[in-house]
Structure 1
Amino acid sequence: MGGDHAPGEVCKGALAACSKYPDLEVVLVGDGSQIEMSIQGAEPFVTKRIHIVHTDEFITMDESPTVAFRKKKKASIRMVMDMVKSGDAQGCISAGNTGAVVAGGVLILGRIEGIDRPGLGVPIPLPNRITLLIDVGATVRCKPINLYQFAIMGEIYMKNTLGVKSPVVALLSNGEEEIKGDEVVCEARNMLAGGNMEFMGYVEGKDIPLGVADVVVCDGFTGNALLKFIEGVGEALYKLLKEEMEQRVLPKVGFLFLLPMLKEIWGRFDYEKYGGTPLLGVNGVVIKAHGRSKARAIDNALKVASDFANHRGVDLIRDGLDRGGM
């Protein structure tokens, strides 16, 4: 029930995923009558793998996550977390309240032993690679150990889920020199430099779009602001280009020749292509989809969840922490 286009687009995404992946089963948790209307007319070989669990309680985007989570025992987000914990589901996806998703992961599923705080990692498509930005909102105020653990979890995710053989890890700071950064960032840098990973040191915000690293580590406040800025720049450039085309004749003609290339470039920065963001560090597969997700994004988020579960992502993080001496 979470997100700007729920439950209709969420249901469409589930139907699309089940039509492509014959071994996938999806449980839709929310208003049963709305869900049933949204899946009417689908092929029987698809709907037989769609299950509906009804609830009248939902956590809205403007509610306090922890308060709502404790009060609403039958909230849809809470119910899907319970299903993952009990083993009735191998993973869960939500396009709803990010704070509620994080709270559910911590309160219901619990943290992996040794993990102090979970992190949300967003894959950002760049010209020469995909860069995982972690954290983007799960842990706003971080300690050095949090940043260090984000790096370990991000490296494991990129290696085992996205197939990067030797992920390069960087730490976001206000300069490349070792003297830059506050006390938290400086201490995290020392920890990462002594860790068992390919750590390149500091990067600045300007370096991220150039694809200099496979994993970029930062606190949740900075990461969330940076992610929203990247999204905003993309939308602003699109609007600016459209306005220029409407005002001038020659650019309109040139635009016809540039259109195929522009579509390809725009597609590389399409968040829907990558579906969702894994909440790393909790005892279960939890994928946070964008609040504006439509059917295609939900479809891809289900693929992300399925791959993470099939690749034993949680176990791999647990094993990686053990090898790292955490």
Structure 2
Amino acid sequence: MILALDAMGGDYGPAENCLGAIEACRKFPDLDIALVGDTDRIGSAIDSVETSIKGRLHIVSAEESISMDESPARAIRSKRRSSLRLAMEMVRSGEAGGCISAGNTGAIVAGGVLVVGRISGIDRPGLGVVLPTLEKPTLLIDVGATIRCKPINLSQFAVMGSLFMKHMVGVSQPDVRLLSNGSEEIKGDEVISEARAMLVENSHVDFGGYIEGNGVPFGHADVVVCDGFSGNVMLKSFEGLGELALKILKNEVDKRILAKMGLVFFLPMLKDLQHRFDYQRFGGTPLLGVNGAVIKAHGRSKAPAITSALGVARDFVLKNGVSKIKEEITDLLPGEEDV
């Protein structure tokens, strides 16, 4: 299997991206990786790697890259030799089974639509993130692909999220909820209310109604559906609260001698807790609704997170994630007359 990695994307490309690719090849013997970007910088990053691994790393030259602050659609259209666009073109042509980037989120979404293309029947793609909640993994969708949503977008996110959890995570009957400002049916604006009505009528989705923000960290749903703005705010809050809790605990321990003495007994538990909520474990989020495996990695990804993102992409390809969505989406989505 060949995966295309945007080696220039993210805060630490290409050095950390290349290290992550090297480790992914060591971890997954069936994996070859196309490193797309600056030939000289990539070559230097992989120069000392062992021959058996180096033979599975293929450099694809790209003279341009897309920065985090560029206009997404304009950049993906104008920079035809950018590392991100070339990686996506490899997916479209079939040269690569999927692509991974830690770069500009908007450009990844734009490239997914303009270069890879949408699955027939999907109005807008959605980025889904698996959150490590208290009770079970929860998919939050969308977290930034579609900022302003129509009811049909939320309805389709629910369908794709349900399919993802069913086929990729192994949840037999995913419980799907809409994020709202209350659990009562009268809550939510017009978009949320219309999306709710669509999902109530969709017998193929196990729709459980609304969920409030305070219920998400406890895992009260398998899939939480929202617009990209709300989802991104919730995701960043989730990450920030996890880091805050660990820092508060550390600060309190530093103030107390007995707590410092007892820390030796709690250290294994604290390491497990930190590991559980570390975004680098999950690595990447799938852009659902496009006609290929497109994985968005965290912009701050270092080597371990890139390795994880490549693992997510590999798993998505091996489990035929795109094909499964395409096979079932026609029956699960409402017809044009319902939209």
Please state if 1:306 is matched with 2:327. Answer: no
In the alignment, the residues of structure 2 paired with residue 223 and residue 233 of structure 1 have an alpha-carbon distance, to the nearest angstrom, of: 15
Please state if 1:233 is matched with 2:241. Answer: yes
Unaligned runs of 5+ in 1: none
In the alignment, the residues of structure 2 paired with residue 226 and residue 59 of structure 1 have an alpha-carbon distance, to the nearest angstrom, of: 26
- Determine helix, strand or coil for the equivalent of 1:53: strand
In the alignment, what sits opposite 2:215? 207
> Which residue of the other structure, out of 264, 274, 280, is the alignment partner of 1:272?
280
Please state if 1:87 is matched with 2:74. Answer: no
Residues 323 and 108 of structure 1: CA distance in aligned 2, closer, same or farther (over 3 Å)? same
> Which residue of the other structure, out of 188, 193, 197, is the alignment partner of 1:190?
197
In the alignment, the residues of structure 2 paired with residue 265 and residue 190 of structure 1 have an alpha-carbon distance, to the nearest angstrom, of: 39
Please state if 1:4 is matched with 2:26. Answer: no
- Per-residue deviation, residues 248-301 of structure 1 (Å, max 9, x unmatched): 212212222211111111211111111100000001100000011111111111
Deviates more, 1:17-26 or 1:130-139: 17-26
- Determine helix, strand or coil for the equivalent of 2:216: helix
Please report how far the alpha carbon of residue 61 of structure 1 lies from its aligned counterpart in structure 2 after TM superposition.
Answer: 0.5
Please state if 1:262 is matched with 2:281. Answer: no
- Per-residue deviation, residues 160-212 of structure 1 (Å, max 9, x unmatched): 11111111111100000000000000111111111112111100000001101
In the alignment, what sits opposite 2:122? 115
- Determine helix, strand or coil for the equivalent of 1:200: strand
Residues 279 and 186 of structure 1: CA distance in aligned 2, closer, same or farther (over 3 Å)? same
In the alignment, what sits opposite 1:218? 226
Q: What is the one-letter code of the residue matched to 2:119?
A: I
In the alignment, what sits opposite 1:148? 155
> Which residue of the other structure, out of 185, 188, 209, is the alignment partner of 1:181?
188
Identity of aligned residues (%): 59
Report the TM-score when normalising by structure 1: 0.98
Please report how far the alpha carbon of residue 246 of structure 1 lies from its aligned counterpart in structure 2 after TM superposition.
Answer: 2.2
Aligned length: 326
Q: Is the 2:159–2:333 contact (alpha carbons within 8 Å) kept by the matching residues of 1?
A: no
Q: What is the one-letter code of the residue matched to 1:312?
A: N
> Which residue of the other structure, out of 56, 70, 73, is the alignment partner of 1:66?
73
In the alignment, what sits opposite 1:242? 250
Q: Is the 1:152–1:320 contact (alpha carbons within 8 Å) kept by the matching residues of 2?
A: no
Q: Pairwise CA RMSD of aligned residues?
A: 1.0
In the alignment, what sits opposite 1:98? 105
Please report how far the alpha carbon of residue 325 of structure 1 lies from its aligned counterpart in structure 2 after TM superposition.
Answer: 4.5
Deviates more, 1:185-194 or 1:242-251: 242-251
In the alignment, the residues of structure 1 paired with residue 235 and residue 327 of structure 2 have an alpha-carbon distance, to the nearest angstrom, of: 29
Q: What is the one-letter code of the residue matched to 1:157?
A: F
In the alignment, the residues of structure 1 paired with residue 261 and residue 208 of structure 2 have an alpha-carbon distance, to the nearest angstrom, of: 45
- Determine helix, strand or coil for the equivalent of 1:133: strand
Unaligned runs of 5+ in 2: 1-7, 335-339
In the alignment, the residues of structure 1 paired with residue 262 and residue 191 of structure 2 have an alpha-carbon distance, to the nearest angstrom, of: 50
Please report how far the alpha carbon of residue 245 of structure 1 lies from its aligned counterpart in structure 2 after TM superposition.
Answer: 2.2
Q: What is the one-letter code of the residue matched to 1:25?
A: D
Q: Is the 1:156–1:317 contact (alpha carbons within 8 Å) kept by the matching residues of 2?
A: yes
